[in-house]
A and B are shown apart, each in its own frame.
Chain A
Amino acid sequence: MAIQAAGSILYLDNVHVAFDGFKAINGLSMILKPGEMRAIIGPNGAGKTTMMDIITGKTRPDRGDVLFNGQVDLTKQDEAGVARLGIGRKFQKPTVFETQTVEDNLLLSLKGRRDVYAMLFAKRTGEEAARLDELLALIRLEARRGDLAGDLSHGQKQWLEIGMLLAQDPKVLLVDEPVAGMTDAETMQTAELLRAVAGAHSVVVVEHDMEFVRALGVKVTVLHQGAVLAEGSIDHVSAVQEVVDVYLGR
C-alpha cells in the first residue's frame, strides 16, 4: 500500500464511514496524481460529498487510510489544518462572505499567515495587490471588485468561490458541483477555467452535469453506494452496463 501511496498527491485506501449504521462510504479507494484532474460522478447518496468531508477533515473515517503527498495522514487534521496543508474546497452551494467586498473575499483567501496576531497587524503589500488584480482578471470580476459579494449573481458567486480557492494557491482543489445553476455559456467558461488551473494544481470535480464532465475531458470515477463502481474515460464508463443501471435505475 505504501508503495502505491508514494508519488500520489491524494491517496484513499479502503475507507469506511457509517452514520448511525448507514454506510455512507464503504471501502472507497482512489489515487490522485500530482497535476491530475479527476471528475467524480454518481447518483445522489453515492457518497461524493462525504468523500470531500473526509479528505478535508470535517468527517473522521471509521477505518482506512487517507494520505496527502503520500505521507501526511489527513485523518489527524481539522479543517483549518487540511486547508493549511494546501487542500482547498469549494462547497456545493456557493459560500462566500456576503457582507464583504469581492476584493476582501479574495484578500482573506490569499496564501499567508492565518493566526490572529498576524491578521491584527497585517498591511496590504504590493505583492498582494498584484495577486488580487491577477485573480480578479482570471475570474472576470474586475468590474465588481468593490461590490459586496452578496450582490453578485449566482454564477458570479461560484466564480468568486473558485477564485478564493485559487488565491490559497492549494496543491489540491476539491470542487463540489461548480456549475450548478449556471447558464450553458457560464458552464463552458467554467470548464475552461478549471482546465487552465489543472496542471499547476490537482483538481477533483464532483458534478452531475454530464455535458460539463465531457467538456472537461478527464478521467472519470463513478461512485455508487460509497465505493468505486467504474473508472476511466467518460466514454468508457458510460459504456459499462452497471453504470447505466445505476443511473437509469434497475
Chain B
Amino acid sequence: MIARLIDLRGAVFLLLLACFATIVPMMSLLAEPGSALHLPSYAVSLFGKYLTYALLALSVDLIWGYCGILSLGHGAFFALGGYAMGMHLMREIGDRGVYANPVLPDFMVFLNYDALPWFWLGFDMFWFACAMVLLVPGLLAFVFGWFAFRSRVTGVYFSIITQAMTYALLLAFFRNDMGFGGNNGLTDFKDVLGFDLQAPGTRATLFALSCLALGGGYLICRAVTQSRAGKVLIAVRDAESRARFLGYRVEYYKLFVFVVSAMMAGVAGALYVPQVGIINPSEFQPANSIEAVIWVAVGGRGTLVGAALGAFTVNGAKTLLTGWFPEIWLFFLGALFVAVTLFLPNGILGLLRRRRRAARAEPATTAPAAAE
C-alpha cells in the first residue's frame, strides 16, 4: 500500500520537502542576522510563495496530466481560496484599522457601508474561513463542471470557457460594490490567530505549513492516480468514448477530479495570501492561469513531482530575471514554452529519464516516452 503510494521519485521529493521545512525556518530564526547562513524573512516568504505555486501546479497536473482536462481557469480557484483567507485576515484587523471600526474593514467604511454584507458573516471565525477556502472553489468547480461535462464540452472549448470564467470573476471583483475591496483588494493584514504576520516566527511557520500542504497535496494526488479510479481517469484521457462504452459515466469522473483539483488550488491560494500580504483582482487575470499550465509543461505533465519542480524553476527564473532585466521576462516565458513544446515534450523530468535511459546503454529502444 505505502510502497505503491510513494515510489522512489516521490520519496526523494517528500524528503527534500521535509528538509526544506526544517532548514529554511532554522536559517531564518536561529542563524545570527549578518551571518552567511541567515535567511531574511522576505526570502522565507518568497520561498513560501513558490511552494503555494507548486501546490497550484500540482492541482493543474492532476486534471490535465491525468484526465486530459486543460483548465485555463485554475488561477480563479487559487484566487477564491486567497480571498476567503483574506476576508478572515481583514476581520482579524478589528479596530486597529485606519478608521478604527471594530466590525467593518477600512474599505467598507471608506465606501460608506453601514453594515457588513451577508457574505462577510462568519469570516471572523478561522475555522469558517478554512471551510470556505475548500468550499467556495469546490462549489464553483462543481457547478461549472456539472454543466460543462454533462454537455460534453471538451478540449479547447473547455479551455476557452475556463478562461472566460476567470475573466468574468476578474471583472466582477474589480467592482467596488461587489464588496471585496474592488481594485485594491484586501490588504494591510495584521495577524493570524493572534500571531503577527510580520514576525519571522509566523513567516517561518507559514513556510513550514506550505511545505506540509504541498506534501499532503502530493499524497492525495498519488492516492487518486494510483487507485483504480486513477486508471479510469487515464482511460478517459486516452480514449474517452471507449471508457463510455465500457459503462463509465465519464462526466462524473471528470467532475470528481475537477472539484478535488479546485479545492487544492484554493488551499494554495489561502496559504499564498498571508505570505504575500495582499489579494486583489489581478490574481484572476487569465494570464495567471496560463502561467500555471506552463509550469506543469516545463516540469513534466502527468508526473506530479514534475509539476512542482516546474513551478519552482519557472518562478525562480522569474524572480531573478525580473530583477535583472524586467523588460524581457514575458519574452523569456514565451520562448520557454515554445522551447519546451518543441524539445522537451515531457518536461524536465522527461529529460532526466531520457538521460538515465541513454546512460543504461540503450537496451530499451521501444519504450514510448508517453508512458507514465
Contact = CB atoms under 8 A, between A and B. Distances in A.
Interface string B112-155: 00000000000000000000000000000000000000000000
Interface string A89-101: 1010001111110
A122 B228 contact: yes
A91 B256 CA distance: 28
Given A119-B229, A150-B370, A97 B247 contact: no
Interface stretch (A2-10, A13-21, A64-72, A107-115): A107-115
B327 interface: no
Nearest to B237: A99
A229 interface: no
B227 A122 contact: yes
- How big is the A interface, by class? 20 to 34
Nearest to A120: B229
Given A97-B234, A99-B370, A100-B234, A91 B246 contact: no
Interface residues of B, number: 28
A170 to B, nearest CB: 10
A242 interface: no
Nearest to A161: B242
B246 A164 contact: yes
Contacts of A79: 241, 244-245
Contacts of B8: none
Interface stretch (A27-35, A80-88, A187-195): A80-88
A116 B228 CA distance: 9
A interface secondary structure, majority = mixed
A98 B172 CA distance: 43
B96 interface: no
A132 B250 CA distance: 24
B245 A56 contact: yes
Interface string B238-255: 110111111111101100
B366 A99 contact: no
Interface string A155-193: 000000000100010000000000000000000000000
B231 interface: yes
A107 B231 CA distance: 10
Contacts of A119: 227-229, 232
A142 interface: no
A24 B107 CA distance: 64
Contacts of A98: 238-239, 370
Contacts of B244: 78-80, 83
Which of A100, A116, A148 is packed against the most chain B CB atoms within 10 Å? A116
Contacts of B371: 99, 148
A104 B229 CA distance: 12
Interface of B: 224, 227-229, 231-232, 234-235, 238-239, 241-250, 252-253, 256, 366, 368, 370-372
Given A84-B247, A88-B245, A120-B229, 10 more contacts: A83-B244, A98-B239, A99-B238, A104-B231, A114-B247, A115-B252, A119-B228, A120-B224, A148-B368, A151-B366
23 contacts: A78-B249, A80-B245, A83-B245, A84-B247, A88-B245, A95-B241, A97-B239, A98-B370, A99-B234, A99-B371, A100-B234, A114-B246, A114-B247, A115-B249, A116-B229, A116-B256, A119-B232, A120-B224, A120-B228, A120-B229, A122-B228, A122-B229, A168-B247
